Structure formats: C-alpha cells, structure tokens
Amino acid sequence: MRTANGVTNTTPGGGLMARQSAARSQSTITRDFIAKQSPTGNAIAMISALPGVISASTDPLGQSNTAMSIRGLQQAEIGFVYEGIPLNDSINYTPYTQAMVDTDNIQSVTVAQGAPDIGAPVYNDVGGLVTVALRDPLEKRGGSVDFSFGSKALQREFIRLDSGEIGRSRVKAFASFSSTTNDQWRGSGKFRKYHVDSKIIKEWGSGSSAGLTFSYDNWQQASYRPMTMAQWRQYGNSFNYTKEYYPGNTSWVGLHLYQRRSTAIIAPVKLKLSEHVSLDVTPAYMNYSEFYYGGVTLKNKGSYFGDQQIADLNLPYQTNGVTTASSINPVPQKSGFLNAVLTWKAGRNTFRAGYIYNYIALEEPIYYAAVNYTGGIANNYSKYMITMPDGRQYRTLDMNFKHQMNELFIDDTLKFLDDKLTVEAGLRYLMISRWNTNLIPGATRYKVGASYAQPLPQVSISYQITPHDQIYIDGTTAYRAPASVQVYGEVFSTTSPTPASRQASLKGEYSIGEEIGYRHYGLVNLSVSLFNYNITNNQITSSQYINGIPLPSPIEAGGKTSRGAQAEIGLRPWRHWSPYVSAQYLHATTDNNIASGLDYLPTKGKIAVQSPEFSAAAGISYDDGHIFGNFVFNYVSSQYSTLMNDEKIPGYETANMTLGYRMRSIGFAQHPQIQLNVINIGAKNYLSGFQSISNNAKATRGVYGTTIAGSSPLYLSAGGVAAVASLSTAF
C-alpha cells in the first residue's frame, strides 16, 4: 500500500538498518523509521538507537539544543553535513539540526561512527560524520499536511506543496512551512518556531542537474537551567529559573532566553562532462544569527569596562546603587562556501579530486539593557542600551572574527577480482587561517591570529565474500581546529579589571583510527566492528557562565585512547514485523596527567569523560499497511563528568513508542493517517547530559603535592513523558 509520507516498509530493523557497502562502520535510518517519530524531533534525537550514539536533550520533544557523543567523542568533534554543506556551527561546531530542516522533509540520516568520508566538507570530524539528506521534490503534483497536538500545550502545523514535473521541462520543486508553539518543559516560558524548507531542481541529459535549496528558521525559547550534582539531588527536575521577578533576581526566566534565526541557500550543480568524467559543484551561503540572554546586577559606581573602572554609569532603576540588567550576547555569523569535486571513471578505477572553500565573518559583542522594577526590559532591547558617560555602549566583549579554510583532496578507488575486492586510498590537505580583534581596553592582545595546516591520509580495503557478506578494514586520520572564538578573544567581567576568560593558544586536535568489520545481509542482517583511536591534543568542549551568559570554554585534555566494539542486528520485514538490536562496548582513557596551575592532576589512565562503557538499544516495528507502530528502548551506562573520575551521572534507560493507523484514500485526501507518539515512557528524574565538564569536582592532591581545588560540573536534566498526536494526509 502506498503511503503519503515516504514509508516503504523495506528497510531492515523498521528503518534503522539500511544496507551499507562503504569500507567503514556506518549506519543509516530511512523514512521507514523517521516518518514514525514525533514530527517535533530532530536528526540527533532520531539516531540515538544506532550503535555508539548517545543523545541527550533537555526536553523530550527534541526542540531544544541537544548534546550527543559517538564512541566517547563529543558532538563538537563530529562533522554534520546537510545537502553537501557543513551543518555545524562554524566556530563552536554545535550541530543545530533542528534549525536546518523539518523532520517531515528528511529522507535519511547516515552515521559514520568513526571514519569520515575524505570528501566531506567539514573540518572537525575526528569523531565521525552525520549526513542528513533532504527529500527530493515529488514527480507528481500534490502536497501533504500534518497537524500535531500534545503535551505542554503543543500545537504544530505543517504543509508541503510539490509542483511535480512542470510541463516537460524536467523541472520540479517543493516548498514547506511549519509553525510550532508550546510551553517550556520545565519551569515557565514559551517555545516558538517557524520554519521554511524548499528545493527546486532541473535535470537534463544523462546525469546532469542544477538545483536550489532554501532553508529558513526562526526559533525562540526560554533557556533551561543547568544544575550541579548537589542541586539535582536536592531539587530534581524542579530546579529551574524562577517565574516571578523582583529587583536583583538574576535567576528570573525572563532574563534567560535564546533566539536563533538561520538562513541557508544551497545551489548544487552536477555536470556529466563525458561518459567517464563528471563535475559536482556546490556553492552556498549561510547566515546564522543567535542571541543569548542572561541576567546580571550592575553597580552604578565601580563597574568595569575592561580594565577601566567607571566612576558613575548613571543607571536607571537602582536599588541601593545596583541595577538588574539583561546581558545580551548576539552571535551573527555569515558564511560563504564552495565544494567542487571532479570524478573520473575508467574501467576498474575511479579517481576523485576536490577543492573546498569556506569563509566566515563574525562580530560578537556582549552589551546590557536595564530592567525596570516590574521586570520590563528597558526600551525593549532597543538602541537605548546602557551607555558609559562618554556615550559609548557599555560592553564586556567586542570581537571581530574572521575564518578562512581551503582544503584539497585526491582519492582513488580500484576494484579487483570481479569487483569483489575494493581498495581505496586518498589524501586531503586542510589549511585554516583565523584572525580576531578585541576592542575592549585591557585585552592581552588587540589582534590575535592563528593558522593550521594538516595532511590527512586515509586507506581502506573491503572484500565481498558472497553477495550477502562483506569484510572491511580501514585506517584514517582526522583533524579539528580549536573550537570556540574564546580561544582567540577575551571576555571581561563587570566586576573585575582582569579578563574572566583568557586567550589560550591551543593546537589542533588530531586522531588516528583503525577499524575492522563484517556485514551480512539477508532476512537477518548483521554488522559488527572493532575500533581503535589515538587522539592527541584532545580538546573537551565545556562552558562557563560569565555575566549570566554561557560561553564556550575548551579544556586541554592531552592524549586519549578509545577502543571498543559495536554491533547491530535487524530483521528484514517478515510478516510485517522488524526487530532491531544494537550495542557498543567502549574503553576510553586519558593518556596523561593534566596541568593545573603549577602542578598536574593525576589523570593518566582515568576513564575519559562522556564515555559510557556500555550502551544498547532494542526496538521492534510493525506495519501491515494500515496498522503501524514501533517501540525503541535505550540503555546508557554511567558517564564521568570530570577528568579525575570523582563525579559522574548514573546510567539511565529511556523508551519511545509509536502507534498509528493509515487509512485508504478519502476524496482528495490520499492515505490519511493518525499517529500517536509517546516519548520517554517511564521517565524518572535523571540527568541526560553535560552543560560543562571540569578537571576535578573535589579537592585533589596534585602530582607535586599541591591541593588543587575542585569545580562542580553542570548537567542537563531530562524532560518527563510527552505525548504527541498527529493527523496527516497527502493530497
């Protein structure tokens, strides 16, 4: 029976185990699974059942920022690609998957758990690669709608229109729009999101095409408050920003907001130049505008502008010489991108040569607006911000950042023994230049720059034992330039003449990895692999709050070794049933002691942070064309949050369930269906992930005998049970 949302019921494991042939560990989810998940979700939430993937969120609807890891490597170490362009934040490498594409329009998500594609247009993929593919325009004119309602007053509307082929032009297009609103999952506040996806494509000849993809997202929400272990134990999920305002209350939810507006324009061109030669060129432009808001109190007399103390700020709404203010951190990024690949096929040989270019411009300040006695933000964040006596805007950060990347790669693939044996080898050369200026007086250096260059070879061999069985081995290298603008700039506090965050001259992170694996495809499908990674200059992504705003704060963690095994098994649909199981064992350790002041913490041999020893998922899917549903259970063992292993989050279990009924066509409504998603079934009060990592939570004796003070990590608290009911149809 044909469906309206792309479900084919052909992918093993209920859509969780599409067939693979690449000589690396790789897993793909398809529409058979994606279409049955909550439409509010995102790509990171949907891949949490795949081997090695640990996904955490502050709400069960999948709307807020997520945190994930693969094989013990953080999301900032994982490359994300969407329609041929990098999906990660350009500097901090955060993957805003929920801001780029609606779930209704995702065709597939592929996770390469370790070895990245040599031609992937990213520069942070030491921990693997996630590729999100968009659903193409349909061949016939039509469309689809989806209306969803659920927990926390959720309302979501989605509509997609497909042109079909326009005349005989071989041109087809689609455009979609969605609107989502709901109450915050914890505490007070609202979530609101408007999103647009569209794509037009023109095909000609045999294999040539040109397209244009456009994505726009407008996302606003109140922030969720992270917590220490002590706060979680005392308050559980009830610990959040407060609902009521009073002067001096910097924990009021109205001061802790997040906004993001993003626009992406992608124009891929595929040219079949001859029978053996083709050229793929993808230019793109991305404009990301983020706003982080926090709360702070400002002294009218004695506040600091960099290293300069201000005699009198003449602040409004003072209480005992102090004014409550909103700290505002806009992060507008403009990025130009080009990816060009030339492919030559001759007999058993396929040769590729590529060039990738990326330019980023970012101007990042932190400024302040006064809050009146009833909680109103003075002047509604307008041009009348807090100013100094000389008329200049009062700021504690004023940076101008530029980034330029050039990458060249070559890759050659040879097939032998009747195409059973495939040997591939390649080399990419990555070159990055960055420079930054800081206008705040007292900065250590006004202008800071850095350049990085790294050759990255790869090799892999695979052998097709039978049409159903494959073995492979690969050796790869990967590199990530330091994350965070704060590596190059300094943020000042309002209360001190010295920087609250210091410039840090960090080296790039470099990894060498090896994998060996086996696959079998048939009624029962099996994939297993062993892996080993050695990482130098490991940089752990963390954050610190300065003037009420969370700012990235990378930790230099020296060397790291990760070893383990992963497996997944799935049944091809049999009598409408498709079970799936995945698991991973991981042993990841820190290789050396970590510097702390003039001493060292004895961290050598300790278990690496955010690296659960064991994780597993089990699911089952049923779909007879009318009645459908699935159930997925996840288990994640405990994870350390400090390099000294003196604090960790407990292991946890989660489960999601889908039930639905797909009807026959009724008039213009083609295959309407109703669907119920229940997320976080049986969810208890548990910590799902990390806001910040620390060296040690408790006071620790250093290698040379110094007592090194501890610092509490901050954690993300998971949401409770959520239910989403959806009514959808094609037309």
Query: What does the pLDDT read at residue 91?
Result: 77
Query: What does the pLDDT read at residue 623?
Result: 96
492 by DSSP, 3-state: which? strand
Token match 């007070």: residue?
Answer: 188
Per-residue burial over 326-364, b if 16 or more Cβ lie within 10 Å, else e, is bbbbebebbbebebebbbeeeeeebbbbbebebebebeb
* Second CATH level (architecture) for the domain 12-730: Beta Barrel (2.40)
- Could you give the maximum distance between any two Cα atoms of the chain, in Å? 84
User: Cα(535)–Cα(613) distance, rounded to whole angstroms?
Assistant: 18
At 234, which helix (H) or strand (E)?
A: helix 229-235
* 397, β-bridge pairs: 366
Per-residue burial over 521-548, b if 16 or more Cβ lie within 10 Å, else e, is beeebbbbbbbebebebbbbbbbbbbbb
Domain positions in the chain are 12-730
Q: What does the pLDDT look like over 355-388, one tens digit per residue?
A: 999 999 999 999 999 999 998 885 555 656 899 9
Average pLDDT of the residues in 508-512: 93
Q: What does the pLDDT look like over 267-322, one tens digit per residue?
A: 999 999 999 999 999 999 999 999 999 999 999 999 999 999 999 999 999 999 99
At 339, which helix (H) or strand (E)?
A: strand 322-346
pLDDT of residue 678 exceeding 60:
yes
Mean pLDDT (the chain, rounded) = 93
- How many CA atoms lie within 13 Å of 386's alpha carbon, on the beta-carbon side? 33
Average pLDDT of the residues in 432-445: 91
With contact defined as beta carbons under 8 Å apart, do 679 and 42 qualify?
A: no
Average pLDDT of the residues in 329-347: 95
Average pLDDT of the residues in 505-513: 89
At 44, which helix (H) or strand (E)?
A: helix 43-46
* 346, β-bridge pairs: 349
Q: With the C-alpha atoms ordered 122, 127, 130, 131, is the resulting torsion angle positive or negative? A: positive
320 by DSSP, 3-state: which? coil
Average pLDDT of the residues in 340-361: 96
Per-residue burial over 164-179, b if 16 or more Cβ lie within 10 Å, else e, is ebeeeeebbbbbbbbe
With contact defined as beta carbons under 8 Å apart, do 329 and 291 qualify?
A: yes
Structure tokens at 447: 């202008």
Please return the burial class of 442, using the count of CB atoms within 10 Å of its CB with bins 0-12, 13-18 and 19+: middle
- Lowest pLDDT segment from 446-450, 581-585, 726-730: 446-450
Query: What does the pLDDT read at residue 335?
Result: 94
Q: Can you say how many angstroms the Cα of residue 250 is from the centroid of all Cα atoms in its chain?
A: 29
- How many CA atoms lie within 13 Å of 699's alpha carbon, on the beta-carbon side? 4
* 226, β-bridge pairs: none
* 30, β-bridge pairs: 108
User: CA-CA distances (angstroms) from residue 139 to 167, 170, 266?
Assistant: 11, 9, 21
Report helix, strand and coil shares of the chain as percent, to nearest 5.
5, 55, 35
Query: What does the pLDDT read at residue 383?
Result: 52
pLDDT of residue 431 exceeding 90:
yes
Query: What does the pLDDT read at residue 378?
Result: 56
User: Cα(250)–Cα(264) distance, rounded to whole angstroms?
Assistant: 35
| Neighbouring residues of 275: CB distance < 8 A, sequence distance ≥ 6 | none
Q: What does the pLDDT look like over 151-180, one tens digit per residue?
A: 999 999 999 999 999 999 999 999 999 999
pLDDT band at 451 (very low <50, low <70, confident <90, very high): very high
Look up residue 461 and give its amino acid: I
Q: What does the pLDDT look like over 229-267, one tens digit per residue?
A: 999 999 988 899 999 999 999 999 999 999 999 999 999
User: Cα(51)–Cα(581) distance, rounded to whole angstroms?
Assistant: 9
At 230, which helix (H) or strand (E)?
A: helix 229-235
- How many CA atoms lie within 13 Å of 428's alpha carbon, on the beta-carbon side? 26
Model pTM score? 0.94
With contact defined as beta carbons under 8 Å apart, do 54 and 47 qualify?
A: no
Phi and psi at residue 238, to the nearest 5°: -80, -10
pLDDT band at 104 (very low <50, low <70, confident <90, very high): very high
pLDDT of residue 399 exceeding 80:
yes
Query: What does the pLDDT read at residue 501?
Result: 83
